[in-house]
Structure 1
Amino acid sequence: MSKVRVYEIAKQLDISTKEILDKLKEYGFEVHSHMSSLQEDEVNLIMEYYAQEEPTNEKKVESEEVIKPPTPTLSELEKAKETLKKQEEPLQQSTQIADPRTTKERTRPDLTHQVKSTKGKNKKKNKNKKLEKAGNMGQQNFDNENKNLNEDIKVIEIPANISIRDLADKMNMAAIELIKNLMKKGKMATINQEIDFELAAQVAEEFDIIVELEEEKDLLEEIFKEVEDKEEDLEARPPVVVVMGHVDHGKTSLLDAIRSTHVTTREAGGITQHIGASTVTLNGKKITFLDTPGHEAFTAMRMRGAQVTDIAILVVAADDGVMPQTIEAINHARAAGVEIIVAINKMDKQGANPDRVKQELADQGLLVEDWGGDTICVPVSAVKGEGLDNLLEMVLLVAEMNNYKANPNCKARGTIVEAQLDKGRGPVATVLVQRGTLKVGDPIVAGCAYGRIRAMVDDKGRQVKKAGPSTPVEILGLSEVPVAGDMFYVANSDKQARQAADKVKAQGRLQILGQSQQKVSLDDLYNQIQEGQMKELNLIVKADVQGSVEAVKQSLERLSNEEVRIRIIHGAVGAITESDLMLASASGAIIIGFNVRPDTATKAIADREEVDIRLYRVIYNAIEDIKSAMKGMLDPEFVEKVTGHIEVRQTFKVSGVGTVAGGYVLDGKVGRHSGVRIVRDGIVVYEGKLASLKRFKDDVKEVNTGYECGLMFERFNDIKEGDIAEAFIMEEVPR
Structure 2
Amino acid sequence: MSHLSDNSAEKLIERPPIIVIMGHIDHGKSSLLDYIRKSKIVEGEAGSITQHLGAYEVVLPPKQKKAGTASGNDNSNSGDCRKITFLDTPGHAAFSAMRSRGAQVADLAILVVSAEDGVKPQTLEALSAITSAKLPYVVAITKIDKPNANIERVKQDLAANHVFLEGYGGSVPFTPVSSKSGAGIDELLEILLLVAEISELKADPDAGASGVVIESSTDNRHGCSATLVIRNGTIHVGDVLVVDRQATPVRALFNHLLHRISKATFSAPVRVSGCTSSLATGSVFHAYPNKKSAEATLVDQSPRLPVVSQASDRISSRSVVTKSILPVVLKADVSGSLEALSAEILKQSNDAIEVQIVQSGIGPVSENDLRAVSVDTEPLIIGFNVKTEKPSQTYAEQKLMKVYSFSVIYDAVDLVQAEIERRRPREEVEEVVGSLKVLKIFSRQKDKQVIGGAVVSGKLTEGAQIRVIRHDNFITNGKISELQAQKIRVKEVGVGSQCGLMVEAKHSIAPNDIIEAFVLSSK
| TM-score, normalised with respect to structure 1 | 0.39
Post-superposition offset of 1:424: 2.1
Equivalence for 2:260: 463
Cα distance per residue 1:577-636 (max 9 Å; x no partner): 884699xxxxxxxx998799xxxxxxxxxxxxxxxxxxx9859999xxxxxxxxxxxxxx
Equivalence for 2:14: 236
The answer to whether the 8 A contact 2:20-2:86 is kept is: yes
The answer to whether the 8 A contact 2:103-2:135 is kept is: no
- SS for the counterpart of 2:250 is strand
Amino acid at match of 1:381: S
The answer to whether the 8 A contact 1:446-1:482 is kept is: yes
Equivalence for 1:489: 286
Question: 1:278/1:293 Cα in 2 relative to 1: closer, same or farther (>3 Å)?
Answer: same
Post-superposition offset of 1:448: 6.5
- SS for the counterpart of 2:212 is strand
- SS for the counterpart of 1:337 is coil
Of 129, 140, 162 in structure 2, the residue corresponding to residue 365 of structure 1 is 162
Amino acid at match of 1:313: I
Equivalence for 2:209: 412
Alignment of 1:188-207 (within 5 A): none
Which protein is richer in strand relative to its size?
A: 2
- SS for the counterpart of 2:198 is helix
- SS for the counterpart of 1:351 is coil
Equivalence for 1:652: none
For 2:373 and 2:272, the matched residues in 1 are separated by 32
- SS for the counterpart of 1:384 is coil
Equivalence for 2:67: none
For 2:374 and 2:4, the matched residues in 1 are separated by 40
Of 331, 335, 344 in structure 2, the residue corresponding to residue 555 of structure 1 is 344
The answer to whether the 8 A contact 1:296-1:558 is kept is: no
For 2:340 and 2:275, the matched residues in 1 are separated by 31
For 2:128 and 2:262, the matched residues in 1 are separated by 39
Question: 1:255/1:393 Cα in 2 relative to 1: closer, same or farther (>3 Å)?
Answer: same
Question: 1:355/1:446 Cα in 2 relative to 1: closer, same or farther (>3 Å)?
Answer: same
Of 60, 72, 77 in structure 2, the residue corresponding to residue 282 of structure 1 is 60
- SS for the counterpart of 1:307 is helix
Aligned pair 1:381/2:178, yes or no? Answer: yes
Post-superposition offset of 1:291: 2.7
Amino acid at match of 2:229: L
Amino acid at match of 2:138: I
For 1:290 and 1:257, the matched residues in 2 are separated by 14
For 1:283 and 1:398, the matched residues in 2 are separated by 17
For structure 2, which runs of at least 5 residues remain unmatched after alignment? 63-81, 302-312, 333-337, 349-355, 383-414, 422-523
Equivalence for 2:134: 337
Equivalence for 2:124: 327
Amino acid at match of 2:202: K
Equivalence for 1:112: none
For 1:469 and 1:499, the matched residues in 2 are separated by 24
Post-superposition offset of 1:324: 1.1
Equivalence for 2:241: 444
Equivalence for 2:276: 479
Amino acid at match of 1:309: A
Question: 1:398/1:282 Cα in 2 relative to 1: closer, same or farther (>3 Å)?
Answer: same
The answer to whether the 8 A contact 1:280-1:288 is kept is: yes
The size of the alignment, in residue pairs, is 336
Post-superposition offset of 1:431: 1.1
Amino acid at match of 1:281: V
Question: 1:544/1:295 Cα in 2 relative to 1: closer, same or farther (>3 Å)?
Answer: closer
For 2:236 and 2:378, the matched residues in 1 are separated by 44
Structure with the larger RCO, 1 or 2 (CA within 8 Å, 6+ apart): 2
Of 175, 181, 196 in structure 2, the residue corresponding to residue 399 of structure 1 is 196
For 2:35 and 2:249, the matched residues in 1 are separated by 36
Amino acid at match of 1:542: V
Aligned pair 1:249/2:44, yes or no? Answer: no
The answer to whether the 8 A contact 1:455-1:475 is kept is: yes
Alignment of 1:168-207 (within 5 A): none
For 2:94 and 2:105, the matched residues in 1 are separated by 12
Aligned pair 1:422/2:200, yes or no? Answer: no
- SS for the counterpart of 2:104 is coil
Post-superposition offset of 1:231: 2.9
Post-superposition offset of 1:276: 2.8
Post-superposition offset of 1:250: 1.0
- SS for the counterpart of 1:381 is coil
Amino acid at match of 1:555: E
Equivalence for 1:717: none
Question: 1:337/1:265 Cα in 2 relative to 1: closer, same or farther (>3 Å)?
Answer: same
Alignment of 1:46-445 (within 5 A): 227-266=5-44, 276-284=54-62, 285-294=82-91, 300=97, 307-445=104-242
For 2:320 and 2:178, the matched residues in 1 are separated by 49
The answer to whether the 8 A contact 2:328-2:357 is kept is: no
For 2:192 and 2:212, the matched residues in 1 are separated by 22
For 1:243 and 1:323, the matched residues in 2 are separated by 16
Post-superposition offset of 1:451: 2.9
For 1:540 and 1:492, the matched residues in 2 are separated by 48
Question: 1:240/1:361 Cα in 2 relative to 1: closer, same or farther (>3 Å)?
Answer: same
- SS for the counterpart of 2:105 is coil
Post-superposition offset of 1:287: 0.7
For 1:322 and 1:334, the matched residues in 2 are separated by 16
Amino acid at match of 1:441: G
Post-superposition offset of 1:391: 0.7
Post-superposition offset of 1:467: 1.2
- SS for the counterpart of 2:281 is coil
Cα distance per residue 1:27-53 (max 9 Å; x no partner): xxxxxxxxxxxxxxxxxxxxxxxxxxx
- SS for the counterpart of 1:369 is coil
Post-superposition offset of 1:323: 0.8
- SS for the counterpart of 1:477 is strand
- SS for the counterpart of 1:370 is coil
Which protein is richer in helix relative to its size?
A: 1
Question: 1:490/1:419 Cα in 2 relative to 1: closer, same or farther (>3 Å)?
Answer: same
| TM-score, normalised with respect to structure 2 | 0.54
- SS for the counterpart of 1:360 is helix
For 1:558 and 1:383, the matched residues in 2 are separated by 38
For structure 1, which runs of at least 5 residues remain unmatched after alignment? 1-224, 505-514, 524-538, 560-566, 583-590, 597-615, 623-735
- SS for the counterpart of 1:371 is coil
For 2:331 and 2:224, the matched residues in 1 are separated by 28
Post-superposition offset of 1:447: 3.0
The answer to whether the 8 A contact 1:301-1:484 is kept is: no
For 2:13 and 2:158, the matched residues in 1 are separated by 35
For 2:30 and 2:101, the matched residues in 1 are separated by 25
For 1:368 and 1:265, the matched residues in 2 are separated by 35
For 2:100 and 2:340, the matched residues in 1 are separated by 22
Amino acid at match of 1:265: E
Post-superposition offset of 1:341: 0.9
Post-superposition offset of 1:476: 2.6
Amino acid at match of 2:23: G
For 1:460 and 1:416, the matched residues in 2 are separated by 18
- SS for the counterpart of 1:459 is coil
Post-superposition offset of 1:456: 1.7
For 1:264 and 1:410, the matched residues in 2 are separated by 30
Amino acid at match of 2:200: N
Post-superposition offset of 1:435: 1.2
Post-superposition offset of 1:454: 2.5
Question: 1:550/1:336 Cα in 2 relative to 1: closer, same or farther (>3 Å)?
Answer: closer
For 2:10 and 2:274, the matched residues in 1 are separated by 34
Equivalence for 1:630: none
For 2:341 and 2:202, the matched residues in 1 are separated by 41
For 1:361 and 1:401, the matched residues in 2 are separated by 24
